[in-house]
Structure 1
């Protein structure tokens, strides 16, 4: 008994010591939201009022003080996130995570973002307002690094803190520009399919822009090789290892006064980005006598990509235009240091880089560059073969004015000043959505677009030696898609294909029309929109397209070959209207059926590896609905059955039975156990949360979640053999800006404002986000002061 008591007291003592350590850790490592603090280089005192969700409302006498304070408070909540963001383009992830990230570092170094950032920084005017504000923001970050508590992730990974520089800002923006990498996933894959199977197999893959799809309307006012070249495989592997989210898509719409109940503009925006912890955006409200902005900031970037004030509001979605091309280069057989150009042989440029690896030796590697860009062969082991493939990316080719554009956007006072800033965005391609207090609405596709020869198809690897596949020239910004105050009284973007102003359909990697069609269907008939209506619309999880697909497929089902349970399931899904509630079983059946149909239809020709690559592109999303309507296709036949030619009906029936068998195997025969929430879950993963023992501390979730992919409330996931759909990306925020009551505009974050796991704001919005709730974005100073959670006063250093 004594031994037992000693054991109990020993355990109690251990738990007590552990509790004390945790309490001390929380006290020492938590962000400082109240009290007084001195910052060097401040000219005047700055008051930072924190609201109930940890959003800082920064009141300063001048703008540089506001941005210096922003840098400090941003860093104390998101320094770890800033650290990772700046490391991607610079090829420095291996220093943190070890040899598993060496290939990822090689890939990003070969993109040339880091070199392009250095070139841009070397040419900056240090006295320009954009540069001064950026430096003030960096000063704030660096003062926190020097004087604030070190985030726990730095201790766990053993990395040292290092001051931030302007180059780090450009590297973070460069990673954003790379974003969804659809060209890397798509172009080599399509080239491989053409070379392996023949051109006829491309006809049903929806690789071209579509003249029949729902398109964003413009309104411009009068004012040959083997499969050894596996670029697609390489990108699939390296991007899966990234510890940070990628930009995916987004929705936005702006409603003109004639369609709103209160006669004022309403803007909605929910950029779709990979879910992670911490969440992507950091909210901050800056106010000075001459400047005010409530904005959403990327980690380490001073100017908000989303924002509003009392005069105007703006948001973004991804344009999805094609700004990356791949070229086969012809190497000189008698001189491997040179390659063929239209004017003769030219020497490769050889670039050598060194990667520092945690707990390992430095890795040095070299790659060649042509006039098009880096040669990808040999950078990673997946990319081999005799024919060199070069990558041409517009982001690293042209002068980088993206930060200048962001500065001007955030300081614009009206539509004209806003529009003037947009031609400075050459990449990434963005849809800029705009609304203002005087009733203007607008949509602009901002990117440096170029025209290719009519015979050139940019979704295949091009010929780099002859000059016949080179761009003919750049379009003027006036030829970009746009709509300004259209007579239909709304503008929208859902990453779908835009109409043309320039007499051409712009090549791109557009998402299917599903979300666009639903947005138009809901917006068009209603003329009394309120902010509450818009909030509800942002949570819409109905897929009209998926319901239509089921109708097309169900017509082909041979009921005589189904048992009673299968007929019940078919009846259930046949009456489905496309809703995706957590307790519904129809979406579970639908996605198992579609995955089985895709696998049975395409994997026999492509093989398992290329089939998985296809699933990682937008192509497979674009072709599901057309294939459901298409009676004849070369893909319907199973090449493994030489004695028969399978029909579409064969494929559809076999896929349906396979889907139901897999569900019964996983969840039993009781269909009530097939609910959507059992297979569709959301977990916000922290890079260190991959360690099992630390998962519950760093990760947020998992939660069963409703909606699905390619609905307005886009909870995206990839198809896989398990039939479990872990959500990978979705709304990174939901914002509703109502100019009839600007101080009561609303938003939400997926987890919380802080990336510090010891902060009370680490995950305080997660359940609200899942339930579709919103919170106020406060701008009224009196209300902010009276309802503040805390006040942090920053004073000039004495």
Structure 2
């Protein structure tokens, strides 16, 4: 998680040596094995903890998945905090330091910039306001109980016994974890909202594009959503007619500022890239699938609901499976819920109780606006007046270093986020000034307006969803889910299915949020939020199913409010819908097996459009023609053993590089991108190459100075449209010392096929019969902190992999890769679940990794092989099913009075 830089390498080497000793690979093997095992949780017997009113039983199956049984709600959440801490406290501790802007306290000097930016955003400050002023008393009680459970675990364990990472960190930093506070849990929602924030990067990118491209060219790279081909989520009810919201360009009065602010936009973009992402890389393109089918169209006669959120792979995975069960369900203790939780937060985020089931995908509403500010010696321009901006001071403590002090500036539009990059300098003719001074002279700056900086009661929604018994209660709970804005799908045991779009979504006075807007003009301000009762919804649509996969929620002609223009383009959602419709139209019904098959579908929908064009190209080079023939008869499935999938995806990547890479601004270049550069035609004959003999794909000096598209389904739509215009300027690419240029579509496609053949020969060998997609398309699971970078020993000790996988970018089985950086997997279905509303015990689930966050525990990655093969675990719900799968029983017993709520959050 924390971004690491080369200067931190020395500290990582020290930690690596410590961990090597602890793993028994050096002196002290006996001590090291016992030290590693000391952090493993106790899973049987009895443990007395403070605050419980009665015993809580923790039943764990062979995969370490716990089901908790308690007599009161507070006891359940207190036990949940204890069990989360048993398995995942290191993850929880790092996460809370991130959300509070305190990573430097754990990891030292290299995290100061990250902390400074996060303090500027003020996640933790807003979370504290929510806890103090917005949350219900009941929610606060549950948060306090959860914190008491975490702290009970910390109180009875030394730092070395909490997790193996602490033993290493303790020797380097003399670090000791603090007690958990309720606000630490609330702040996690801010991190979720940040990673799921929508189109901030698109807003920056479009601003850069306007400096190099015409408005028409920019729109070609951001085409309109294809409503005629890919259906939005809501079509049958829950919408009111309105006017199509016009798309805006960069405002005229902000265009003049573009040159002056471009340096700060570039610095802000770099800063965003450096912020550790808990869920996915910096909020760009995070996907997910969920769908629900009415019982009229299922083999069980009751609804079936599926969900698989697509997030960045991490170790441990972001989800933690758990059940929370009141021994006797009543108004006083209404919890009988099971599903996927976040370590560090009470309750279940996705899952089912005994009446309803629900799933989540990212709605992607535009909830951020970058505002350009005109500053002049302590003031900013606002509707013709100079107004003093607000300032506050933040102290950043640094492990092994001196405390830093930063000044945060804010305008009425939000915190000034362009202050935080080390390359900051005053623009607009002023001389560079001290970034730590409260008055930085005159020039331009960038502030951020973001819904998550508005205190809300989103945490209340978690408990409301957990206890909802019908559609009305579900919708009422969803209304509290202010941030992050999500698509919620629903099913109940009465046979109903539904969809609700919740969230705090702004209404803009002027503009549509696609470009940075002038902060000095209040007409661009938000004038309110879409009323919750007017957000899109559906209930029992006639078609018999609901699909959400980050596509457009509703056609703009049918809805009076603007949600965003930066949707996923519907590739996954329409494929899911087509598969469901195919079964229904043939007179069949959807089974649990069908739901699994849909979830694992890896068809490349863009290949169906592009391959016919590729096969029409006349190829004279026999080596390239052999590769081209791999596409003949290929069924567009991206199985791990498919040579056709390997070659097609290489062609796609090279096509994007050739058509767009030399035309996009250098500011959009992906950090550390690796681009294929083929050798000169006469320098290295194809027959002399063999896979793995040399590094043909290089980063750095051979990589072009321009950006390369990431290859997601926005680019599907861009290329689909351009295929109809074979003479478009986008198809032209200059000649190089390695290859001839291209003047039109067919010439560029021919060169892309040639370059792809060279690339895969270098990577996979001359013999195309040995090629397969999985050898390129690999998953590594990296420990979120010490294993993400650094010396080999650290990675060897904490990381796992690789796995050669099927799937691809914007396939339903979205093991995605970024064409700007290579074929390795950057997005995954972070979990998979299928819920049967006919019999909850027939439901299935699987996690990306395992329940344990301890590197050498049996449950560290015990679900990963199942996940990689597309297999599932039984998901027990009833006490009988839980007992049948249980292999360990731990009883948490009362041992004394609990702390007071005030003590827990001070």
TM-score, length-normalised on structure 2? 0.81
**Structure 2, unaligned stretches of length 5 or more?**
1-20, 241-254, 330-334, 429-443, 671-706, 897-906
CA contact (8 A) 1:208 1:507 kept: no
CA distance in 2, matches of 1:243, 1:377: 19
Shift of 1:625: 3.3
Distance 1:592 1:525, change over 3 A: closer
1:732-743 equivalences under 5 Å are: 732-743=830-841
| 1:673 and 2:770 correspond | yes
Match of 1:135 in 2: 144
Shift of 1:394: 1.2
Match of 1:330 in 2: 374
| 1:107 and 2:117 correspond | yes
| 1:191 and 2:191 correspond | no
> What whole-Å deviation, never above 9, does each CA across 1:327-370 have from its counterpart, x for those lacking one?
111224xxx21111126221111232222223333232223211
1:153-302 equivalences under 5 Å are: 153-158=165-170, 159-206=175-222, 208-214=224-230, 215-220=232-237, 224=255, 225-226=258-259, 228-231=262-265, 234-236=268-270, 238-240=272-274, 242=276, 244-246=278-280, 248-288=286-326, 289-290=328-329, 291-302=335-346
> What whole-Å deviation, never above 9, does each CA across 1:374-432 have from its counterpart, x for those lacking one?
22223113555442111111111x33111011121111111110101222222211001
1:587-598 equivalences under 5 Å are: 587-598=645-656
CA contact (8 A) 2:78 2:146 kept: yes
Residue 865 of structure 2: which of 767, 776, 779 is its match?
Answer: 767
**Structure 1, unaligned stretches of length 5 or more?**
1-10
1:233-632 equivalences under 5 Å are: 234-236=268-270, 238-240=272-274, 242=276, 244-246=278-280, 248-288=286-326, 289-290=328-329, 291-332=335-376, 336-342=377-383, 344-382=385-423, 384=425, 385-386=427-428, 387-396=444-453, 398-453=454-509, 456-500=511-555, 501-504=558-561, 506-527=563-584, 528-555=589-616, 557-559=617-619, 562-612=620-670, 615=709, 619-620=714-715, 622-632=717-727
Distance 1:211 1:740, change over 3 A: closer
Shift of 1:171: 1.3
CA contact (8 A) 2:341 2:349 kept: yes
SS at match of 1:307: strand
> What whole-Å deviation, never above 9, does each CA across 1:731-776 have from its counterpart, x for those lacking one?
1110010012211211001111111124221111111111111111
CA contact (8 A) 2:291 2:547 kept: yes
| 1:780 and 2:885 correspond | no
CA contact (8 A) 2:353 2:466 kept: no
SS at match of 1:251: strand
CA contact (8 A) 1:219 1:485 kept: no
SS at match of 1:459: coil
CA distance in 2, matches of 1:483, 1:81: 37
CA distance in 2, matches of 1:779, 1:157: 39
CA distance in 1, matches of 2:825, 2:395: 36
Distance 1:534 1:383, change over 3 A: farther
CA contact (8 A) 2:77 2:142 kept: yes
CA distance in 1, matches of 2:798, 2:742: 53
CA distance in 1, matches of 2:748, 2:409: 46
| 1:757 and 2:818 correspond | no
SS at match of 1:755: coil
CA distance in 2, matches of 1:198, 1:544: 30
CA contact (8 A) 1:124 1:131 kept: no
CA distance in 2, matches of 1:508, 1:38: 54
CA contact (8 A) 2:279 2:312 kept: yes
Match of 1:4 in 2: none
CA contact (8 A) 2:816 2:827 kept: yes
CA contact (8 A) 2:191 2:278 kept: no
| 1:97 and 2:97 correspond | no
Distance 1:578 1:554, change over 3 A: same
Distance 1:367 1:196, change over 3 A: farther
CA contact (8 A) 2:643 2:769 kept: yes
How many residue pairs get aligned? The number is 774
CA distance in 1, matches of 2:273, 2:156: 35
> What whole-Å deviation, never above 9, does each CA across 1:680-716 have from its counterpart, x for those lacking one?
1111100222342132331121111111121111101
SS at match of 1:377: helix
1:80-91 equivalences under 5 Å are: 80-91=90-101
CA contact (8 A) 2:304 2:836 kept: yes
CA distance in 2, matches of 1:83, 1:240: 20
Match of 1:152 in 2: 164
SS at match of 1:605: coil
SS at match of 2:661: helix
Distance 1:294 1:763, change over 3 A: same
CA distance in 2, matches of 1:191, 1:594: 26
Task: Tell me how large the CA RMSD over aligned residues is.
Answer: 2.6
Shift of 1:308: 0.5
TM-score, length-normalised on structure 1? 0.92
